[in-house]
Structures are given as structure tokens and as C-alpha cells.
């Protein structure tokens, strides 16, 4: 797990991991240059739970933090987790059961997405066979990955033989890895909801969708025989500055509002109004409030 300034959500995340019914694990946490209380929280946890190992680095971003964390792992299985998300107590056990099949290299589970206030947005599941076929054959407009990056569990040997996370992919590093793992074995999605993922309007998926899309396209190009020059292109996309855009945040707030309205949750109005404060010309938010 990589954490950058996650003090506000870190406690619930750590509680969920420490409460796993599968007790024998090592939790490697990369404190990615946090400037809030993250480091202190992690040190306090590690002082009373010897399973927790904290590595403090300069802020280099998620991909490099994951590369470091996975390089430190010694167990035959690696599980991912994101700060702010919460795993059900039986998550590790259920996913490890799927990995008892030697043909399986990558496992995920059902994921519940919640809003910034814990509002239920939607549940994501999937069919492992269909996801594997998509990763191996589909284009960028159709490709399907795991229900959530943080829900992944994979064999360390397969991870290493696939080349691991690639530093050139600051974003879409998960899809890039899943494509390469898919060629090495089966994918299983445990159907139960065992992971709760928090959607934040400032998250990468909300603010850097264009970069994610471009990097996913490069991963597919490499999958389909593209040469190493594509890695230079990926490096350029990853390093390009992207200023914060209020319209991106308005789009993320609209997404929250539309999910809540579909669920019959009247709190959608608050997010639609917030979207219009970020971008008064956001037509879909106006239409949502007028319905």
C-alpha cells in the first residue's frame, strides 16, 4: 500500500487490514513523502503490530511506490490495497482460496464504490474469463480491467516474470500490468463484495482520465507488438504537466450526483450543486437538478 497525505482515512483502512481472518501476512506501507500526520499514524501502528513495515520515501507517485513495495515483498502472494479503502475481514482468505488453483495468477473480488461521505454509489463485479479475454484482445475503447486496482491479489513469481509495474506508466499502471499478467494464467473475480473503494473528486481517475486513456492505449500497443519507442511515449505522457481543471472536478461531482440519483438517494442534489459551483456551464448538472 502506498500512502500520500492519507491521515484522515488511514485509520479505517488499517483497521480493515489488521482485522483480516487470515492473520499471517506482512503489510508493507510506503509513506510516499506525506506532510500530514500519516507518518506518525503508521509508526504508532507498527510499534504495536509487528506485521506492519513502514518505508518512508520522497514523494515519487503511486507507481514508483508500488515498485518499491513489491520489491520488498518476500511472500509468494502479493495483495494490493489503497489508502481510504476498506477490506472485509475475509477478503484475504477468499482470494487466497482462488489462488489454490495453480493456473490462476490474478484474483480480484466484488467491489462497492462509495462517495466521499460513504454514500453507496454502485457495486462492481466481473467474470474473470471475460476480463482476461478483454485484456488480451480488446482495444482501448472496450478493454475491461479488474473491479478496482486495490482489490488485486497476484502471484509474486508471475508479477516478476511479467516485468512488474513499469515506471513509465505514472497512470494506468494497473491495466498495463494486468495485460501482461493475463498472458501468464487465469483471472478469477470472487463474486462477494469484499472491498470498499472510496471515490474522491480529486483522485487520479477523476482528474487525469485523459492521461490514463493515453497510457492504456500505449499498453495495448505494446501488447500488440509495438516497439520500445512506445515506452518513451508513455514516459512523455506521464511527465507532462496537467494543471488542475475545475471542469474535471465538476465532471467528477456530476458522476457522484448521477449515481446517487439512480439509487434514489436525494443527496445527489448537493453534488450537482457543487458541480455547478465548479463549472456554472455544466449542462448535465443543470439537467439533473431540473428533473
Contact 228, 166 (CB under 8 A): no
In this prediction, residue 31 carries a pLDDT of 98
- Domains of the chain in start order, with CATH, are 2-239 (3.90.550.10), 246-290 (no CATH)
What is the pLDDT tens value at each position of the chain, 291 positions in all? 999 999 999 999 999 999 999 999 999 999 999 999 999 999 999 999 999 999 999 999 999 999 999 999 999 999 999 999 999 999 999 999 999 999 999 999 999 999 999 999 999 999 999 999 999 999 999 999 999 999 999 999 999 999 999 999 999 999 999 999 999 999 999 999 999 999 988 765 656 788 999 999 999 999 999 998 999 999 999 998 866 566 789 999 999 999 999 999 999 999 999 999 999 999 999 999 998
In this prediction, residue 187 carries a pLDDT of 98
- CA 132 – CA 142 distance, rounded (Å): 13
In this prediction, residue 204 carries a pLDDT of 57
The DSSP annotation for 198-248 comes to: E--TTSHHHH-HHHHHHHHHHHHHHHTT--THHHHHHHHHHHS-----HHH
Amino acid at each position: 500500500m502506498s500512502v500520500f497525505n492519507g491521515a484522515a482515512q488511514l485509520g479505517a483502512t488499517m483497521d480493515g487490514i489488521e482485522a483480516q481472518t487470515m492473520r499471517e501476512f506482512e503489510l508493507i506501507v510506503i509513506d510516499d513523502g506525506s506532510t500530514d500526520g500519516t507518518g506518525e499514524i503508521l509508526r504508532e501502528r507498527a510499534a504495536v503490530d509487528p506485521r506492519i513495515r513502514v518505508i518512508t520515501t520522497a514523494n515519487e507517485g503511486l507507481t514508483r511506490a508500488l515498485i518499491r513495495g513489491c520489491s520488498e515483498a518476500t511472500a509468494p502472494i502479493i495483495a494490493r490495497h489503497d489508502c481510504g479503502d476498506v477490506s472485509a475481514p475475509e477478503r484475504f482468505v477468499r482470494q487466497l482460496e482462488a489462488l489454490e488453483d495453480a493456473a490462476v495468477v490474478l484474483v480480484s473480488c466484488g467491489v462497492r464504490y462509495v462517495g466521499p461521505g460513504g454514500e453507496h454509489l454502485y457495486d462492481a463485479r466481473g467474470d474473470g474469463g471475460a476480463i482476461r479475454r478483454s485484456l488480451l484482445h480488446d482495444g482501448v475503447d472496450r478493454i475491461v480491467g479488474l473491479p478496482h486496482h486495490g482489490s488485486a491479489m497476484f502471484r509474486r513469481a508471475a508479477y516478476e516474470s511479467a516485468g512488474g509495474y513499469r515506471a513509465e506508466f505514472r497512470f494506468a499502471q494497473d491495466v498495463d500490468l494486468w495485460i501482461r499478467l493475463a498472458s501468464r494464467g487465469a483471472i478469477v473475480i470472487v463474486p462477494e463484495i469484499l472491498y470498499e473503494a472510496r471515490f474522491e473528486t480529486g483522485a487520479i481517475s477523476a482528474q487525469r482520465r485523459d492521461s490514463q486513456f493515453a497510457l492504456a492505449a500505449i499498453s495495448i500497443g505494446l501488447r500488440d507488438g509495438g516497439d520500445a519507442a512506445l515506452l518513451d511515449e508513455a514516459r512523455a505522457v506521464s511527465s507532462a504537466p496537467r494543471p488542475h481543471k475545475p471542469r474535471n472536478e465538476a465532471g467528477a461531482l456530476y458522476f457522484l450526483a448521477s449515481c446517487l440519483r439512480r439509487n434514489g438517494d436525494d443527496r445527489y442534489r448537493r453534488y450537482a450543486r457543487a458541480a455547478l459551483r465548479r463549472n456554472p456551464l455544466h449542462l448535465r448538472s443543470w439537467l439533473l437538478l431540473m428533473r
